[in-house]
Chain A
Amino acid sequence: MTPPASHERVYRALLRLYPGPFRARFRDELVQLFGDVMRDARDGRGGRGGTGGIWLRILADIALTAPAEHLDARRVAHSLTRPASAVMKTLGLLGIVGGLLLLSVWLPVLSIVPEKFNLGRLVLFNAGAMAIAAAILRWGAGAEWGRFQRSVAALAMAANGWYLVMVVLSADRPVYPVPDPEFREIFNWAGVAMWWADGALGLALLGSRSRARWGALALAVGSVGAFSGMGYLGLIDGELGWLFLPASQVGIALNGLGWILLGIAVTTRRRAIAPTSVAPRAS
């Protein structure tokens, strides 16, 4: 005969199927009640089937009530939150558009569109990155993203702003094909700052609990790849160009994907309802 403690151990393990808060609140009582039920079964007061029959009933009980409790916990959590604000949705959408425009570098049609269009594309990409950084800054104290993440977001916002200004200024300057060495040097440094700040932001957000962590991962990896493709480093023109050229292109795509995922996280993240709007218990 199986010792009672073994039954209890199995039942305790099965309780993991319930939501954490429910378990924390009722685990001891559930185990105690289970012990009572098993004791009745051993004493012949548990109905048909003995302990085997009891186990069948227990398994059916868990199979029916655990999913319902998960659904209920989700419904309650949902009822205590509101959708993202209009400002956050706008910032998130800007980030998504910026990421899509960065991804559009893969479209072959870009080679035949006017250079001004490409400049506009880069401006919107930087504006989108700045919007996501602004959304992270706006997330507020005590939220998932703390002071460190918000500091790095401020850095990324400044770096993308710098690059955006350089892109706008380059519209009337002979950067390519006739180089303006001084301007090009500053432009390069803006690029370095942008890719490193974007990568740092990705790393800073890796610990996020939400779906933002996938965007953060893409941003971190993508920024390193994109950085390796910067012309002044000479990596893509060197012996290992076969490696660095595709790496930089994949990096740019991943960077764009990162901003898109972060934009989705920003637009879909629900915010808690202020505690003052929840009435205290009446009883």
Chain B
Amino acid sequence: MEAVHRPPAAPPLSRTAVHVLLAIGPEERHGYAIMAEVARITDGAIRLGPGAIYTTIRRLLDDGLIEESDERPDPELDDQRRRYYRLTVLGRTVAAAEVRRFETLVQASRRWVLEVPPT
């Protein structure tokens, strides 16, 4: 079935969308794994709820940045009803662009940020 393709949201993506993209990374992950990975890579600072996870997944799917994987887990290891998501080529490109944008920001502000004593 043909899906409606909208151009990806103009960069920068929303913070939640970036977190979800980076949480999926090179893996195939389901909603719970994405939520856990977001919490892990943000050191627990960001805990997304089911609504935030799936409204973001819906937008990323519609924008063509992620896709649903056809693979299903071994029924002995995981619930077969779970759907797994992975980055598309476009999604990897956008995620990489976001990370480079962060790097530029960090490099540009590193000198004065390091002079500020930690709180």
Question: Which of B's residues lie within 8 Å of A, judged by CB?
Answer: 2-6, 30-32, 35, 47-55, 57-59, 62, 64, 67, 79, 81-83, 88-90
Contact = CB atoms under 8 A, between A and B. Distances in A.
A69 B55 CA distance: 7
Most-contacted residue by chain A among B35, B49, B58 (CB, 10 A) = B49
Interface of A: 18, 22, 25-26, 28-30, 32-34, 36-37, 47, 57-58, 60-62, 64-66, 68-69, 72, 76, 79-80, 278-283
Contact of B49 (A18, A32, A57, A278): A57
B50 A281 contact: no
A80 B4 contact: yes
A30 B51 contact: yes
Contact of B50 (A33, A76, A279, A282): A33
B52 A61 contact: yes
Given A32-B82, A61-B51, A281-B5, 13 more contacts: A18-B51, A30-B51, A32-B31, A33-B32, A33-B35, A34-B50, A58-B51, A79-B6, A280-B2, A281-B2, A281-B64, A283-B89, A283-B90
Contact of B58 (A26, A57, A278): A26
Contacts of B90: 282-283
A60 B49 contact: yes
A10 to B, nearest CB: 13
Contact of B64 (A34, A66, A282): A282
17 contacts: A25-B58, A26-B58, A29-B82, A30-B51, A30-B54, A33-B35, A33-B50, A33-B53, A36-B32, A47-B47, A61-B50, A72-B59, A76-B62, A281-B4, A281-B64, A282-B64, A283-B64
B23 to A, nearest CB: 14
B89 to A, nearest CB: 7
Contacts of B5: 278-282
Contacts of A64: 51-52
Contacts of A65: 49, 51-52, 55
B50 A30 contact: yes
A51 B64 CA distance: 35
B50 A66 contact: no
Contacts of B88: 283
A29 B89 contact: no
Given A28-B81, A32-B82, A281-B2, A22 B49 contact: no
Contact of A68 (B2, B4, B50, B55): B55
The 3 tightest CB contacts between A and B, nearest first, are A61-B49, A65-B51, A283-B88
B53 A57 contact: no
Contacts of B50: 30, 33-34, 37, 58, 61
Nearest to A25: B58
Contacts of A69: 55, 58
B79 to A, nearest CB: 7
